[in-house]
Amino acid sequence: MPRYHVTISGQGYDAMADLVRAHHINVLHKTVRSKGKDRYTVDAIVEDSAIPRLTAAGYEVESHEDVDEVGRERQKEVGHGDRYARK
């Protein structure tokens, strides 16, 4: 099941705390931002099945990237073997 980096917006501090307490969302550390008038956003890593659930619960969800796919692409950039081995 793919996982996505998303930005979640919600109304009020308690709604944002419920992302962790009730919805068990993996919120990224130090990403909470106040958008004024008791509105907040956070970044999180969620499975694709969580996005419709969050939307139905009244959150706005903006999807950025499939973190698994990005991770596989970045792993291709890593060298192979021991670069410090004596030749």
Contact 29, 37 (CB under 8 A): no
Whole-angstrom distance, CA of residue 6 vs CA of residue 1: 15
pTM, rounded to two decimals = 0.81
Mean pLDDT score of the chain: 90
Q: Which one of 3.30.70, 3.30.9, 3.40.50, 3.40.390 gives the CATH number of domain 3-63?
A: 3.30.70
Confidence label for 46 from pLDDT (cuts 50, 70 and 90):
very high
**Domain positions in the chain:** 3-63
Span 22-40, pLDDT tens digits: 999 999 989 889 888 889 9
